[in-house]
Amino acid sequence: MTATADDISTYLKNRARWSPLEIAFWIFAFATIWLFPGKYLIMKDTAILALFALSLDLILGYAGIISLGQAAFFGLAGYFSGLVAKYGLIDEPVIALICAGLVAAALGLVTSFLVLRGTDLTRLMVTLGVSLMLGEVANRYSDLTGGADGLQGVTIAPLFGLFRFDLYGHNGYVYCLIVLFVCFVIARRIVYSPFGLSLRSLKGNSLRASAIGIPVKWRLVAIYTISAFFAGIAGALLTQTTAFCSLDVFSLERSADLLLVLIIGGTGYLYGGLVGAVIYKFLQDWIATLTPQYWQFWIGLVLVVIVLVGRERVERRIAALRTAMANIVARILPRHTALGDAASDGR
């Protein structure tokens, strides 16, 4: 092996390693279970929103597909998991969750052909149209879905027959957090694979991507389907942890919130959805306690400021912080030096 090839193989292996900052992030995420026992409900909603935003980041941040219709997958899987629980078709929540994800993925596969062609604007309209249609279908078949009253009488069996979804939301939160983590690990694995790299190339330049032998169309279909799966898991989590599902799972607001979350958190590095969801939810919670009626005004203001100031400026600060962290870690643990480099290159 030549020196260059050696260098390349070390570099590529380090590229996908977990950086200290990432590990710290997840340790803190799991520590919240003990740190903030009174906040389970909002933290659970945050975890679900984070997973939902992660699903959009996969298509927007990696493949460059903008969508206002992620709620279609969220809602379909939400109703699916509610119905199978209500009629006792699938008792085990984890199995129901995976099935709901697969149902959403099937819808993703079918509708992916609609977003292959066209510009951002047509994609926005097409994806929005699909979720509006599904919302209206759910409204029309109110015998099954409960229509505007929502799906009543859902009882979710205990997880693995052991853990009941309690009133305080403790088990629900732990469940959502673990599912979020598992999904994140899968997504992370995907984006660091050759498949993930090829997505970034077709986002960057699809003309060239096809000129080096990449079947652009099929890659887009694949990632759209995977993204729908994750969005579906998020929707099913909401139904399972609230034992309720209403028509607003299909609402435009739900899809639009995701774009806000990703604008706050940034796209294309996987943590954008997570960080964005945390900031968005807590901002919402904090402002709502100050001015319960007009909280959306302040959210809007924050959004305008973020766009004007430019996230890049904030990101540069964070990058500087990362480098500083990596240096400290390198001083304590010399063999971790390469990790810090990989982390700052990961962006």
Partner 1 sequence: MPILETIGLEKRFGGIVAAHDVSLSVEKGARHALIGPNGAGKTTVINLLSGVLKPTAGRIMLEGRDITGVAPHERVRLGMARTFQINQLFLDLTPLETIGLAVSERLGAGSDWWRLVGSKSTVTEEIGEIVERFRLADVMHERTAILPYGKQRLLEIALAFACRPRVLLLDEPAAGVPEAERHELLATIAALPKEVTVLLIEHDMDLVFSFADRISVLVNGALFVDGAPEEVARDPRVKAVYLGEELDA
Provide the binding-site residues for partner 1, judged by CB under 8 A.
1-2, 4-9, 11-13, 15-16, 189-190, 192-198, 200-201, 204-205, 207-208, 210-216, 218-219, 222, 345
Largest CA distance in the chain: 69
Minimum Å distance from CB 3 to partner 1?
Answer: 8
Between the CA of residue 8 and those of 13, 192, 212, what are the distances in Å?
Answer: 8, 15, 21
For partner 1, give the closer residue by CB, 58 or 72.
58
> Closest CB to partner 1 among 239 and 267?
267
Do 101 and 179 contact (CB within 8 A), yes or no?
no
SS3 for 249-275 is HHCHHHHHHHHHHHHHHCCCCCHHHHH
Say how far apart CA 281 and CA 294 lie, in whole Å.
15
Q: Supply the minimum distance, in Å, between the C-beta of residue 169 and partner 1.
A: 34
Question: Taking the complex as a whole, how short is the minimal distance between the CB of residue 15 and partner 1, in angstroms?
Answer: 7
Q: Rank residues 145 and 198 by Cβ distance to partner 1 and give the closer one.
A: 198
Write down the least CB distance from residue 338 to partner 1, Å: 12
Handedness of CA 253, 257, 258, 262 (dihedral sign): positive
Closest CA to 173 of 24, 272, 285, 34: 34
- The total number of residues shown for the chain amounts to 347
Q: Which is nearer to partner 1, 187 or 237 (CB)?
A: 187
**2 versus 293: smaller Cβ distance to partner 1:** 2
Least distance CB 2 / partner 1 (angstroms) = 5
**Cβ-proximal residues to 161 (8 Å cutoff; 6+ apart), any chain:** 92
Count of beta carbons in the 10 Å neighbourhood of residue 13:
11
Of 93 and 346, CB closest to partner 1: 346
User: Cβ of residue 277: shortest distance to partner 1, in angstroms?
Assistant: 24
